[in-house]
Amino acid sequence: MSQLSDYLQHHAALAGGTLAIAIVVLGYEVRQAARQQGAVSPTELVRLVNSGALLLDVRAKAAFDAGHIANARNVPGEAIADGAKGLERFKEKPVIAYCDNGPTGAAAARQLARLGFKQVSSLRGGLSGWRGENLPLTRS
């Protein structure tokens, strides 16, 4: 133990730099974990939808019509921000929201949770993550 204290005294800048880097890495990891909390992978999404989860596409109608995940409902983000009227009966059911890349779907999931939905998550990576797994899209 005395060797450690000697080292720290003689190399305070190195020890301080190491501590600063450790704090930055820890902060980054915590932020990433918080961002991914409540996000499901494309394969988890398939399992959840097969067991009865509601899938919400929060993109604009034109983007939805151009291609979406099968069995998804188009509920634009603005409708969710306005209180998600028409979705109240799904408050106890698993609900997964997605957008093109993930952030809007995650924001919609957070809004639904604030509105009292019990089991809400988002698709990790959004539709881009879905396409990255070579999973199919349907068109309206």
Structure tokens at 55: 């899938």
CB 133 within 8 A of CB 42: yes
Query: Is 99 among the residues known to form the active site?
Result: yes
From the candidates 39, 84, 95, 99, which is the catalytic residue?
99
| Cα–Cα distance, 32 to 105 (Å, whole number) | 16
Nearest to 72 by CA among 47, 51, 96: 96
Three-state DSSP class for 83? coil
The phi-psi region of residue 52 (left if phi > 0; otherwise alpha if psi is between -120 and 50; otherwise beta) is: left
Contact between 123 and 97 under an 8 Å Cβ cutoff? The reply is yes
User: Which residue, 37, 36, 76, is CA-closest to 56?
Assistant: 76
> What are the residue numbers of the active site?
99
